[in-house]
Amino acid sequence: MTGKIKELRNIVPVPMGEAMQLLKVNNGDVALCAALFKAKSISEICELTGCDSKMAAAYYETEKFDFNRTVSSIRDALYDENYKVIEGLTKENLRIVLQWLGVVESDDFAVSLDFQQIGTVVETLSLVPTLKDIASLVDKAKIAKRSIFEGYTDDMPLEEFVRRHSRLDDNPDFQKAYSTIPLKVIVLKEEVLRHLRNL
């Protein structure tokens, strides 16, 4: 049985328990078990993506039976196929958003609010229906930081910098954005890149 489990799992990435169950129910017929597992996976892919079984099967094979990559690839393909251009959205501005996300990732969200083109970031995000909430969070956090740091200069004592940062940390608009946006950087990048490749 161990040899047949290995053989089956070399064909398709079936979990161990499921492989054993399939082989047991189908009298150790490896080819039949592989076909049944593929059919089940294709059905689940169709359900998750809304594509037809022919598309699901083709992508599943192309992605070497990696279920998650198949779902992701099909979703991207369907997104691109049905893409509707958003008025006002430009490649240049989407690239600016990507630069800003790079600052969020490499430095800090608070630092990213000083990004030179933060206004363009907010405007661009607000054009995309799925990113309007994020645009609002960024805008409110930006306004909070500007208000708290108004009149601040680098030659002021360190204590003043710390005091103002403490006020910023306590600001509810900043807190909400700070606890949300850094966790969504990867998802935001993916969404921006989807639009970028379709313009």
Residue-wise pLDDT tens digits, 139-166:
999 999 999 999 999 899 999 999 999 9
Domain that holds residue 13: 2-81
Same domain, 63 and 130: no
Residues 96, 20 share a domain? no
Task: Classify 65 as helix, strand or coil.
Answer: coil
pLDDT the model gives residue 38? 96
Which among 15, 49, 81 is the end of a domain?
81
Residue type, 142: K
pLDDT averaged over every residue in the chain:
95
Q: Is the pLDDT of residue 59 over 80?
A: yes
What pLDDT does 2 receive? 84
**pLDDT value at residue 41:** 96
53-60, long-range: CB < 8 A, 24+ apart: none
Boundary residue ending a domain (81, 102, 135):
81
Give the Å distances, CA to CA, from 179 to 128, 133, 135, 143, 169: 21, 14, 15, 17, 11
Identify whether the C-beta of residue 184 lies closer than 8 Å to the C-beta of residue 134.
yes
To which residue do tokens 């030179």 refer?
A: 116
Q: Does residue 141 form part of some domain?
A: yes
